[in-house]
Amino acid sequence: MNRFYTLIAVLVAVGLGLLLFLMNRSSSPAIPVQVAVTAADTAGFQGYVLGSETAPVTITEYADYQCPACQSFEMVEFPYVKERLIQTGKVRFIYRDFPLDQPHRWARLAAHSAACASDQNKFWEQHEAIYRTQGEWSPSGDAGAIFRNLARQGGLDIAAYDECMRSLKYAGRIQASLDEGVRVGVNSTPSLRIGDRLYAGVQPYDKVKAVVDSLIAAGGTAPTP
Q: Which domain holds residue 39?
A: 2-217
pLDDT one digit per residue (tens) for the chain, 225 residues: 556 445 454 443 434 343 333 333 446 788 988 888 999 898 989 899 999 999 999 999 999 999 999 999 999 999 999 999 999 999 999 999 999 998 999 999 999 999 999 999 999 999 999 999 999 999 999 999 999 999 999 999 999 999 999 999 999 999 999 999 999 999 999 999 998 899 999 999 999 999 999 999 998 665 444
Q: Is residue 225 part of a domain?
A: no
Q: 160 near 120, Cβ under 8 Å?
A: yes
pLDDT at 32: 84
| Cα 207 to Cα 158: distance, rounded to the nearest angstrom | 40
Q: Is residue 151 part of a domain?
A: yes
Number of domains within the chain? 1
pLDDT at 155: 98
Give me the CATH number covering residue 73.
Answer: 3.40.30.10
Burial grade of 164 (CB within 10 A; 0-12, 13-18, 19 or more): buried
Q: Is residue 186 part of a domain?
A: yes
Q: Is residue 112 part of a domain?
A: yes
pLDDT at 27: 61
Q: Is residue 48 part of a domain?
A: yes
Q: Is residue 73 part of a domain?
A: yes
